[in-house]
Amino acid sequence: MKKAALHNLGCKVNAYETEAMQEMLVQNGYEIVDFHDQADVYVINTCSVTNIADRKSRQMIHQAKKRNPKAAVVAAGCYVQTSPEKAAVDESIDIVIGNNQKHRLVELLDEFFGTNKKVQNVPDINNDKEYEALVMAKTAEHTRAFVKVQDGCNQFCTYCIIPYARGRIRSRAFQDVMDEITTLAKNGYQEVVLTGIHLSSYGKDIGCHLIDLIEGVATIDGIKRIRLGSLEPGIITEEFAKRMSALDKMCPHFHLSLQSGCNETLKRMNRHYSAEEFLEKCHILRTYFDHPAITTDVIVGFPGETEEEFEITRAFLQKVDFYEVHLFKYSKRQGTPAATMDHQLTEGQKAERSHILSQDLKENKRRFMEYYMQSPVEILVEEQEEIEGRMYYTGYNKEYVKFAIPGIACKEQTNCFVTVKPTGFMGEDMLGVL
């Protein structure tokens, strides 16, 4: 029996695909081992979102070949899709698999072992209109399953390589999603997260809408919670919010991608909304949900960002009052328009602005979490953790606030729902029953 080890880099979509490839290998007689162990096959699902991600992808590829020079090293995904010429001459790579081709992993391994010659399979993804059929029955997480329902992006933001790495939008068939989540529910998963490269565009190419899929998933027995991956502000309409709010299983936890609160910066980024429109979308969500967790991403120090533009973003973040903001210092990505823009900021400027925003936002998160203090909250218990020398059960509520409790009264110990009444903070990111 051949041994295989897999390593994932990048986003939740990549993680889903890595786990689907692992299931394929198991079904075809491979034994899965830790990536740091000796294996006959190493699969690295690469990332290319930044130059640093490219470098990490190459490092993991070379580490695998160094660990076992006789092993078949498979480089799959975004890095090899955007840099096929580099992958072609990299002697550490035996099999190159582009995006939308990962379902062929076992077939390409068989080809390599049969010929002992390098296998290169990176077609032009811009011409690919078919959604790649990958299926998963179990995930690495025990309670929450991430399910990929969409691939590709048509947005072409000036800082982003993803449309070139993933191609145009492609949606997974409605029934395929329903079948997979039904299987996951039968295997004990109670919470599902619908995810994609550009989730908001789900259904545009197959004649339906994301809300139709959400309502379908809500009918599946065993699924108690539905979450969504990152959304574009444009998808938030009165109808969309109203239909979501009618579903008891819907988690009021929405990640709306902002990137900047300054309209001039948004234009340079080629984002298709204004700060005022974004704020209106948040108002809609807060109209239909009592206390929704609204989170976002912000790029700090985008080319041309003046001190005035930075201060406009800073004020806008306070105006929206997010639960959490994920801050990213702008990082050049070769092959994108932003990488060649004038007025690139220094690393020092970006670090300083990131620090200022980070300090600003701490109080917002604490205030959002304090809402739950001394009130009954239902959490899905996920695992046991040792915190400050004591064992706790930890889990999340629907708004994705983390809670810790010293004991629970359910025989399953994890993957069960319990109601708790938090009494205090445990660090900055967790509430607990102290």
Mean pLDDT by 10 residues, the chain (434 residues): 95 94 96 96 95 95 96 96 94 96 96 93 89 87 92 96 95 97 96 98 96 98 98 98 98 98 98 98 98 98 98 98 97 94 97 96 95 94 89 95 84 85 93 88
Question: Taking a C-beta distance cutoff of 8 angstroms, is the pair 336, 281 a contact?
Answer: no
DSSP at 242: H
Taking the C-alpha atoms of residue 407 and residue 283, their distance in angstroms, rounded to an integer, is 38
Question: Taking a C-beta distance cutoff of 8 angstroms, is the pair 38, 3 a contact?
Answer: yes
DSSP at 145: E
Taking the C-alpha atoms of residue 374 and residue 371, their distance in angstroms, rounded to an integer, is 9
In a 10 Å sphere around its CB, with 0-12 CB exposed, 13-18 middle and 19+ buried, how is residue 341 labelled?
middle
Estimate the crossing angle of helix 238-245 against helix 275-288, to 10 degrees. Answer: 30
> Would strands 416-420 and 377-387 be described as parallel, antiparallel, or unpaired?
antiparallel
Give the pLDDT confidence score for residue 374 in this predicted structure.
Answer: 86
| pTM of model > 0.75 | yes
Give the pLDDT confidence score for residue 88 in this predicted structure.
Answer: 93
Residue 401: closest CA among 365, 364, 376: 365
Taking the C-alpha atoms of residue 45 and residue 7, their distance in angstroms, rounded to an integer, is 6
Taking the C-alpha atoms of residue 165 and residue 47, their distance in angstroms, rounded to an integer, is 9
The tokens of 53 are what? 């991600």
Give 249's Cβ-side CA count (13 Å radius): 19
Starting at the edge strand that comes first in sequence, how are the strands of the sheet with 191-196 ordered? 170-171, 144-151, 191-196, 225-228
* pLDDT tens string 172-217: 999 999 999 999 999 999 999 999 999 999 999 999 999 999 999 9
Q: What angle do CA 50, 55, 59 make, to 5 degrees?
A: 145
Q: 420 to each of 99, 225, 372, 402, 410, how far by Cα in Å?
A: 44, 18, 10, 12, 13
Element (H, E) at 62: helix 51-67
The number of angstroms, rounded, from the C-alpha of 41 to the middle of its chain's C-alpha atoms is 26
The number of angstroms, rounded, from the C-alpha of 136 to the middle of its chain's C-alpha atoms is 17
Taking the C-alpha atoms of residue 152 and residue 354, their distance in angstroms, rounded to an integer, is 29
Taking the C-alpha atoms of residue 31 and residue 163, their distance in angstroms, rounded to an integer, is 35
Identify the bridge partners of residue 404 per DSSP, sorted by sequence position.
394, 432
Give the pLDDT confidence score for residue 342 in this predicted structure.
Answer: 95
Spell out the long-range contacts of 206-209 with Cβ–Cβ below 8 A and sequence spacing 24 or more: 206/171, 206/173, 206/174, 208/171, 208/174
Q: 122 to each of 62, 110, 169, 406, 409, how far by Cα in Å?
A: 20, 17, 18, 51, 52
Could you write out the DSSP letters of every residue in 385-408? EEETTEEEEEEE-TT--EEEES--
Question: Taking a C-beta distance cutoff of 8 angstroms, is the pair 39, 27 a contact?
Answer: no
Q: What is the CA radius of gyration of the chain?
A: 22
Give the pLDDT confidence score for residue 409 in this predicted structure.
Answer: 60
Give the pLDDT confidence score for residue 411 in this predicted structure.
Answer: 67
| Amino acid in the structure at residue 257 | S
The residue whose two tokens read 């234009």 is 267
* pLDDT tens string 111-155: 999 999 999 999 889 888 899 989 888 887 778 999 999 999 999
